[in-house]
């Protein structure tokens, strides 16, 4: 080792002295911010943007601070952690020692559930992560007791409960005055005076449904007829289902009468909607609006539906390794699993409704499995029976980091635009010239494009997170291969299991009954045609 190092101007610098100088340099604090608004209203949209701009500028301009990220949840409730992907990603990064300080507007923005709030803050404190709440002027790194924070969290939860009760009270008073809540439904729209007005073109469809069910047709048969005739639902789509038709036939609003509070929110923390079976008052408002069907026709339809009603067995929906991961390229629908004559098959949800919507035939699970194995051999196979296990392990370990890299790139682009918007506003000195407004509009358009891309990719990133169990199990299996006498035999056995392949395969798109597109964890694709092999698109 050289005894001395030389500085940029030629002077001799002792190696130990240089190391001491480096150690004495202050370490930059890695700072992140958490921003949440609970609705998508224009007013809160502005608050959402302002908070992001504020924290971006604050962190970038504070000496000794290093920007990590702005973690966001827009239109998300604060009483549940499960429905906040931005918050969960923040906590995961904190556990991975990527964050030193978290900034948040208030305790209520962080969480309105006392138990979640205290447990999360306690866990982060043990990891050495400080949380600074602006509104309450609290820094968890300086606290000697949890009492104040517990009280504030309890206040936030109580505030959420109070808001929920106030809303329920206001809605009940509204019902008592004979003012039901209007929800867009086929056949009606609400005018400027909040009156329910009949849309005759849609009303004809409603009447036809009631008349057909009384004649003896099942909701599934009516749905198929509506698809053939090209009738549109309120969302403009034509993919009618038996459930859609049944719900329409059960809706008493079509008689001109309205029953209010048919369901209610069970708890302000869970936000779970439950059917009102007498727990709360119900309100019947007769002759509220112009009817589309007579009460006699409505009651006859209910009797017809009751005759065909199947017993409710409360069967819980099963989840399989490929559930919600097989997509039909013909119509964009999701394939669902069923068993026919002892064979497991997957069928497009739109094909189930009607062949008019999607002609794609059902596919056996064995065929899908064969396609996944062929794609796996194309991607990781060295020869027919030898696989590149090192690359397999590397892809599994890099899955989350690659996702984070993609996210961070978009976030950095977004931060640059937010910062530029801030600078433009500051330089304008309150004057709104045409050039300033044009620049702000251009920046806002760029920001919206990036935010739109973030939302599109968020679904893909959530899938990667959901597959963590498959990846952990596969990594464990690969580690076991290193200690066995015949690893190839064991690997071939594992490759016959869908759960093992799912560690690398995120989605399967059906092009035809024999042709598939396999989407991998690194967002690459392999096209597989079982009649002609596989083609890797990388």
Q: How many other C-beta atoms can be found within 10 angstroms of the C-beta atom of residue 18?
A: 13
Summarize the confidence of residues 482-491 as an average pLDDT: 81
Q: What CA–CA distance (Å, rounded) separates 392 from 332?
A: 30
Q: Is the pLDDT reported for residue 25 higher than 70?
A: no
CA dist 329 → 230, 518, 527 (Å): 22, 12, 13
Return the SS3 of 155.
helix
Specify whether the CB–CB gap between 103 and 32 falls below 8 A. Answer: yes
User: Class of the 188-307 domain?
Assistant: alpha beta
Tokens of 408: 């961070």
**What distance in Å separates the CA atoms of residue 444 and residue 417, rounded to the nearest whole number?**
8
What tens digit of pLDDT does each residue of 213-262 get? 999 999 999 999 999 999 999 888 888 999 899 999 998 889 988 887 66
- Per domain, the residue ranges of the chain are 18-161, 188-307, 377-537
Residue with tokens 């990594």, as numbered in its chain = 475
pLDDT tens sequence across 113-159 = 656 677 788 788 888 898 888 887 878 876 554 555 555 555 555 55
Within 10 angstroms of residue 446's Cβ, the number of other Cβ atoms is 16
pLDDT, greater one: 524 or 181: 524
Whether the pLDDT of residue 303 is over 80: the answer is yes
Asked whether the predicted pLDDT for residue 82 surpasses 60, the reply is no
Query: How far is Cα of residue 458 from the mean position of the Cα atoms in its chain?
Result: 7
Q: What percent of the chain has pLDDT over 90?
A: 28
How long is the chain? 538
For 368-391, how does the pLDDT look when each residue is reduced to its tens digit (9 = 90+)? Answer: 999 999 999 999 988 777 888 889
Query: How far is CA 88 from each of CA 33, 71, 153, 270, rounded to the nearest angstrom?
Result: 13, 9, 19, 17
- For residues 10 and 48, the answer to whether their CB atoms sit within 8 Å is no
Across all residues in the chain, what is the average pLDDT? Answer: 79
- Taking the alpha carbons at both ends of the chain, their separation in whole angstroms is 45
Rounded mean pLDDT, 49-70: 84
Q: What share of the chain is helix, strand, coil (3-state, %, to 5)?
A: 50, 20, 35
Kindly give, in sequence order, each residue whose CB lies less than 8 Å from that of residue 119, ignoring residues fewer than 6 positions away.
Answer: none
CATH of domain 18-161: 3.40.50.1390
Q: Is the pLDDT of residue 448 over 50?
A: yes
Instruction: State pLDDT tens for residues 254-283.
Output: 998 888 766 656 554 445 666 766 566 677
- 3-class DSSP string for 425-447: HHHHCCCCCHHHHHHHHHHHHHH
Q: How many angstroms separate the CA atoms of 20 and 25, rounded?
A: 9
Predicted pLDDT at 269: 46
Q: Is the pLDDT of residue 39 over 60?
A: no
Q: What residues are paired with 527 via a beta bridge? A: 517, 535
User: What confidence score (pLDDT) does residue 21 get?
Assistant: 45
Tokens of 243: 């459930």
- What is the structure's pLDDT at 264? 54
Q: Is residue 248 within a helix (H) or strand (E), and if so which, with residue range?
A: helix 242-249
pTM of the model: 0.61
Compute φ and ψ for 112, nearest 5 degrees. Answer: -105, 5
- Tokens (6 digits) for 311: 């017993």
């Amino acid at each position: 080792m050289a005894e001395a190092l030389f500085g940029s101007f030629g002077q001799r610098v002792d190696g130990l002295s240089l190391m001491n100088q480096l150690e004495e340099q202050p370490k930059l604090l890695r700072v992140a911010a958490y921003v949440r608004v609970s609705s998508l209203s224009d007013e809160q949209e502005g608050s959402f943007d302002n908070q992001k701009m504020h924290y971006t500028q604050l962190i970038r301009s504070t000496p000794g601070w290093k920007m990590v990220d702005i973690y966001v949840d827009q239109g998300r409730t604060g009483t549940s952690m499960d429905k906040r992907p931005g918050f969960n990603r923040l906590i995961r990064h904190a556990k991975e020692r990527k964050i030193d300080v978290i900034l948040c507007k208030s305790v209520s923005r962080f969480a309105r559930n006392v138990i979640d709030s205290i447990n999360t803050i306690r866990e982060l404190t043990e990891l050495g992560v400080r949380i600074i709440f602006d509104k309450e002027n609290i820094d968890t790194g300086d606290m000697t007791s949890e009492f104040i924070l517990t009280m504030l969290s309890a206040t936030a939860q109580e505030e959420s409960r109070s808001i929920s009760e106030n809303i329920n009270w206001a809605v009940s008073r509204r019902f008592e005055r004979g003012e039901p809540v209007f929800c867009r439904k086929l056949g009606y729209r609400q005018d400027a005076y909040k009156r329910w007005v009949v849309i005759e073109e849609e009303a004809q469809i409603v009447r036809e449904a009631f008349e057909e069910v009384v004649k003896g047709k099942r909701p599934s048969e009516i749905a198929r007829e509506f698809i053939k005739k090209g009738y549109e639902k309120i969302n403009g789509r034509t993919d009618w289902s038996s459930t859609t038709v049944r719900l329409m036939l059960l809706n008493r609003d079509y008689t001109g009468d309205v029953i209010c509070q048919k369901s209610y929110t069970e708890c302000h923390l869970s936000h779970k909607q439950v059917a009102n079976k007498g727990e709360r008052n119900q309100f019947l408002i007769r002759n509220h609006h112009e009817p589309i069907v007579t009460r006699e026709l409505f009651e006859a339809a209910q009797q017809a539906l009751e005759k065909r009603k199947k017993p409710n067995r409360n069967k819980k929906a099963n989840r399989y390794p490929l559930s919600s991961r097989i997509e039909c390229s013909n119509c964009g629908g999701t394939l669902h699993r069923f068993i026919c004559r002892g064979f497991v098959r997957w069928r497009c949800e739109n094909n189930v409704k009607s062949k008019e919507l999607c002609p794609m035939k059902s596919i056996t699970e064995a065929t899908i499995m064969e396609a996944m194995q062929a794609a796996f051999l194309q991607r990781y196979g060295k020869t027919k029976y030898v696989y590149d296990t090192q690359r397999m392990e590397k892809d599994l370990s890099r899955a989350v980091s690659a996702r984070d890299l993609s996210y961070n790139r978009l976030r950095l682009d977004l931060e640059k635009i937010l910062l530029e918007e801030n600078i433009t506003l500051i330089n304008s000195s309150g004057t709104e010239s045409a050039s300033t407004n044009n620049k702000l509009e251009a920046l806002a358009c760029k920001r919206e494009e990036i935010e739109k891309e973030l939302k599109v990719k968020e679904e893909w990133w959530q899938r990667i997170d959901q597959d963590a169990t498959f990846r952990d199990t596969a990594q464990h299996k690969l580690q076991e291969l290193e200690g066995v006498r015949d690893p190839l035999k064991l690997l071939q056995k594992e490759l016959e299991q869908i759960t093992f392949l799912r560690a690398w395969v995120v989605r399967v798109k059906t092009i035809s009954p024999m042709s598939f597109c396999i989407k991998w964890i690194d967002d690459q694709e392999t096209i597989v045609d079982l009649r002609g092999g596989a083609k890797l698109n990388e």
